[in-house]
Copies of this chain bind each other. A is one copy, B any other.
Amino acid sequence: MSQDGPGSSSGLDRLSLNTATCKRLSLADCVELAARAGLGAVGPWRDRVQEVGVARAATMIRAAGLRVSTLCRGGFLTASDGRARRDALDDNRRAIDEAATLGTHELVVVVGGLPAAFARLGLPMTDADAHDKDIVAARDRVADGIAELVPYACERSVRLVLEPMHPIFAADRGVLQTLGQALDLAAPFPAEVVGVVADTYHVWWDPQCRAQIERAGRQGRLASYQVCDWILPLAPEPLNSRGLMGDGFIDFPTITSWVRDAGYTGDVEVEIFNEDLWALPGDEVVRLISERYRALIAPHLG
């Protein structure tokens, strides 16, 4: 770590390592890698935090001089069954507590898929769920769930950061597909309590991408900017088909300039699910993402 603290001399002060990018490493390893490379932040997943305990995770990250850009993730609010719904809300309240303890304002929320697809993610499923393909109703339940969580999040100064997901995940992971839809969902609540994340993988294709990033910025709801690339052919498991920036088809300079013009001054979190990347040593992964960040993103951040 330099005397000026992480990031200040490395040019990587706004770069954040999401722990999913180094999926096989512990939180301690991720924190060490990020700090050593001069990154400014990490974005931990809850499983990595829970492995060491939330309080200890918070101490560890703070001691390394790093910020927590976001906590991944709450959500999965589409269950119609009463018990499954209560369990999901409880789990989201725990996630809000964890975010508060970690000292991050931003809790990423992946809203969940259709009941008919619950089995695909190993979620409990009733007989009725098996036939439930009603995406309109699922979206309404998400809105209800958010409304129910808002007071709890508000009291703890944590923001529910809605993550629109690429339509490839509409059936099984998230029925929230666009920034516009996420902002509509956020509209009834204060910008400090419900925001949105623009993840290039999920939003790059959207003809409304620029306009909705601008809208999110104007409303003060642009809570996180995450980056990874759309690569082809898809991996056998599409969830793990995300690429290193520059390896695919996303125009990072342009989208980054839209995010900058929207007034975003926060961290740029690299979250890449990719088996090939997971097979590399951690310092090589951090070297690669730093290199691509410097080439494709940093020059356009303003």
Total chain A interface residues with beta-carbon distance under 8 A: 36
In whole angstroms, what is the CA distance A206 to B117 when docked? 18
Q: Which residues of B contact A123 (CB under 8 A)?
A: none
In whole angstroms, what is the CA distance A181 to B205 when docked? 12
Q: Which residues of B contact A122 (CB under 8 A)?
A: none
Interface residues of A in 154-210 (CB under 8 A from B): 166-168, 170-172, 177-178, 180-181, 204-207, 210
Is A222 engaged at the interface, CB distance under 8 Å to the other chain? no
Q: Judge whether B251 and A171 touch: CB under 8 Å.
A: no
Query: Which applies to chain A's interface (DSSP): helix, strand, loop or mixed?
Result: loop
Q: Which residues of B contact A134 (CB under 8 A)?
A: 251, 254
Q: Which residues of B contact A233 (CB under 8 A)?
A: 237
Closest CB in chain B relative to A252 CB, distance in Å = 9
Is A82 engaged at the interface, CB distance under 8 Å to the other chain? no
Q: Which residues of B contact A170 (CB under 8 A)?
A: 204-205, 230
Q: Judge whether B254 and A136 touch: CB under 8 Å.
A: yes
Q: Judge whether A207 and B234 touch: CB under 8 Å.
A: no
The 5 closest A-B pairs by CB, nearest first: A170-B205, A167-B205, A171-B249, A181-B207, A133-B251
